[in-house]
Amino acid sequence: MSDARSALRASSHGVKSLIMALTFAMASLPWSGCWARSMTVVESHPMVDEIMDGRATAFSIRFDGPVDHAASRLTLVTPHGVKSLRPRLDSEPNTLFANVGALPPGSYELRWEARSMDGQVSKGTVPFKVATG
């Protein structure tokens, strides 16, 4: 019977050592990005390939999680060049928003680069057109 107890103690000691080693290994991993995921666009204005009226234009892109407004970017590619837009810092936590004003007719792209609060970056492009008056 004492041989069985000794074997059980040795086995128990081995399991405890394994658990401690795994716990240490997991605690030393850089967990900050392990569970991070890219954000997904839930809604955008304009929508992809939308034909807009260019009189008073504002852009908004809503995500499935909060964004870091100060670290995110919106860029408008126009028929005449590229314009950086500043996302409004006081917009909804999960929305990038910028006013642009009037746009002349033509083909455009709204490029976005959104940084989530955990540092992950998602990027995308929304092509759209502004119709003639």
Of the candidates 53, 60, 61, 59, the one whose C-alpha atom is nearest the C-alpha of residue 102 is 53
pLDDT at 37: 60
Of the candidates 85, 37, 46, 29, the one whose C-alpha atom is nearest the C-alpha of residue 64 is 37
Please give the residue that has the higher pLDDT: either 79 or 19.
79
pLDDT digits 0-9 by tens, 11-65? 555 556 655 554 444 444 444 444 456 789 999 999 999 999 888 889 999 999 9
8 pLDDT band, cuts 50/70/90, is: very low
Q: Average the pLDDT over 112-133 and give the result.
A: 92
Angle, CA 71 vertex, CA 67 and CA 125 arms, to 5°: 70
Give the residue ranges of DSSP H helices in 1-133. 2-27
The residues spanned by each domain of the chain are 2-33, 41-130
Choices 1.10.150.120, 3.40.50.2300, 2.40.50.140, 2.60.40.1220: CATH for 41-130: 2.60.40.1220
What is this structure's pTM?
0.69
